[in-house]
Amino acid sequence: MESMSKNSTSCESNDGIEDRLSGLPDELIVHILSFMPTLDAVRTMLLRRFQNLWTFVPALRFDFHEMICIDDKPPSTHVAFSSFTCFVRNALLLNRRSTIDTFRLCIGELGEKSKDTKIIGDVRMLLRYAVEREVKDLYFHYNAPFFDPPGCVFTSQYLVTLTLAGCTLKHYEHQSQPQMVNLRKLSLLYVYGSTKAFNQLISGCPCLQELFINTAFGPELLSLNINSPSVRKLYLRVYEGSYNLNCPSLKILDIAICETHVILNMIGVISLQEVNFKDLPRDCNSGGINAYFRRIQNAELISLSSVAFKKICSIKKMELPQNRWKRIVLHPQWNRERCLEVICMLIKSSINLEELVIYAGELWVSEFSMIGILLL
């Protein structure tokens, strides 16, 4: 690193006790500082050993609400955000690295102040600064449904990981279409927008490997075509709407279906190996479970969380379709007879089953014995 000493000598404190921290090389101290909130990293400059080492960290992390909660009587939102903006900008300008690996900007909820034009302008400016420093991992959280990140974010050739939370996806015109050729992981958390904007964003990520969608809002986001030839892992947590999965390279599907009015169409999922059910609808019935299981009948591994398994056990009359699962992983909330019945049904419906894994917690010995009898 520029102007950093390659070796640091160990020293002793005034009472003769060895100061091991002073003996650490600069590179290791910088690595440690990179995991800290940037405000805490800056404060280390008060220590003689650290001095300006914080200016070499490859990761910058800023949380507006953590900063304003430091004082017993926080200033007004305008004053506080102006101070926050100044701090973030100076941290970016003083950073001595030519590029930044990680930039985390968490603003959260500002209420009515989030519509203030100056605050919006400051937020856009900070994101542009980060993109100009060729950031590779960008996390942005702003609970403002009307706010859409600047177009430069979606045209960065350096981004590898992008997380957007609380903001809006905007449809861009031809000259500013999203084009992130190196993006590997995209996370959309409680986002707003339109189907057109979503499709444009996905199509602009030709090398996308992981897609994480946790709740999409707005009437135009209730029917999504997740069409990506490169995605290998998909996490989907949805409450309503229809979702068409056309991902021929998809290997792992983590899914939480939180309501009954969710339609999941698996159109081009031909390479699916692992399906993890994190949740199922509260009012699920035998027909609904059969429909979901038929769509994943060619997967090799099926995993049911404790929540999903409990909801299956709540269905009194149920017949499961045959499948080709080779491995089943269960996390049951044990309630004796009904759990055994469901496990038995899963075994009988899996004609190619090779392995059954049960994380059952505290069970009676007799219940373990009964499972063994079922498997025999």
Residuewise pLDDT in 10s, the chain (376 residues): 555 654 444 444 444 444 677 778 888 988 988 898 998 888 888 877 788 888 999 999 999 988 776 554 455 677 888 889 999 999 999 999 999 999 999 998 887 777 778 888 999 999 999 999 999 999 999 988 889 999 999 999 999 999 999 989 888 876 678 899 999 999 999 898 888 889 899 999 999 999 999 876 666 677 788 899 999 999 988 887 788 889 999 999 999 887 777 778 888 788 889 999 998 887 777 887 888 888 888 899 999 998 888 888 888 888 888 899 999 999 887 666 788 888 888 999 999 999 999 886 655 444 555 555 455 5
Q: What is the pTM of this model?
A: 0.84
| Whole-angstrom distance, CA of residue 162 vs CA of residue 157 | 12
Which of 113, 167, 115, 102 is closest to 141 using CA atoms?
A: 167
Residues 81 and 64 sit within 8 Å (Cβ to Cβ): yes
Q: What is the DSSP string of 283-323?
A: T--HHHHHHHHHHTTT-SEEEE-HHHHHHHHT-SS--PPPB
Q: Residue 313 falls within a domain, yes or no?
A: yes
Q: Is residue 129 part of a domain?
A: no
**22, 42, 57 - which closes a domain:** 57
Q: Is residue 307 part of a domain?
A: yes
- What's the domain count of the chain? 2
Q: Which domain holds residue 3?
A: 1-57
User: Which residue among 13, 34, 57 closes a domain?
Assistant: 57
Q: Which tokens hold the place of 314?
A: 């709540």
pLDDT at 72: 47
